[in-house]
Amino acid sequence: MIDQRASAVAIVPARGGSKGVPGKNLVNVAGLPLIAWTLLAVSDADLPIRLIVTTDSQDIANVAADYGSEVVRRPQDLALDTSPTEPAIVHALREARVKSDALLFLLQPTSPIRSKGTIDRAHAAFIESGRDTLVGVVEETVFNWSGPPEDPQPMYNTISRPRRQDFKSEQVVFRETGSIYISRVAPFIQAENRIHGSTTLFVMAKSEGIDIDDSHDIAVADAVLNRNQTELP
């Protein structure tokens, strides 16, 4: 639930510009602006969370306010195509005077699919782990290759091709969803990095791993979110 007095804070970074999909954060996905799905996920959580959107766009700021979020206006030098996310998060934390011992959720709006309860389960996993950072991930196929296409290296034994279920736990590959990162404010600011110290992985459902980079991703997210709404009791 959104509670602007809560000790936990969710920062949602949302620039107005985007190279791949113009105006991406406001593109209609399953009937709502893309960013709205992340704001609703915070609203649907049982954990009280202070919600802050950092943006350089007035249109995004208006949508954020409509969904109950605070807004921190991002300086232009932190909103360029080449600008990393972390400095904008640090700026937002300082501008909003978030306490140094607060629990920090970094929720990227370009990963719009979070199942009901995901934020609460991630929070519980982070607390139980005792680690410095939690990273949301999905399991990827184990039949991976690395390197350039003209000189690839298999990441599994191609001569004695194993069955998927024969892979050991340490061989399983995970991909960051971009959907959720959890840490504490003070060490995040000190490291200026979403992943710092000791890390635990929070394995999410495959459908939650969609990251919006192009029109195909939008179509897939649209279909999944529409299906999820249809399946709600």
Instruction: State what percent of residues in the chain have pLDDT above 70.
Output: 94
Residue 105: beta bridge partners?
10, 182
d(CA 164, CA 117): 29
Residue 195: beta bridge partners?
none
CA distances from 45 to 62, 112, 218 (A): 22, 15, 24
Annotated domain spans of the chain? 8-137+176-226
CATH class of 8-137+176-226: alpha beta
Q: Look at 77-81, 100-104, 164-168, 208-212 and tell me which has the smallest mean pLDDT.
A: 164-168
Select from 59, 56, 17 the least CA-distant residue to 36. Answer: 59
Residue 97, pLDDT score: 96
Residue-wise pLDDT for 105-143, tens only, equals 999 999 999 999 999 999 999 999 999 999 999 988 777
Q: What angle is formed at CA 167 by the lines to CA 165 and CA 168, rounded to 5 degrees?
A: 120
Residue 73, pLDDT score: 95
Q: Look at 50-64, 91-105, 159-173, 217-231 and tell me which has the smallest mean pLDDT.
A: 159-173
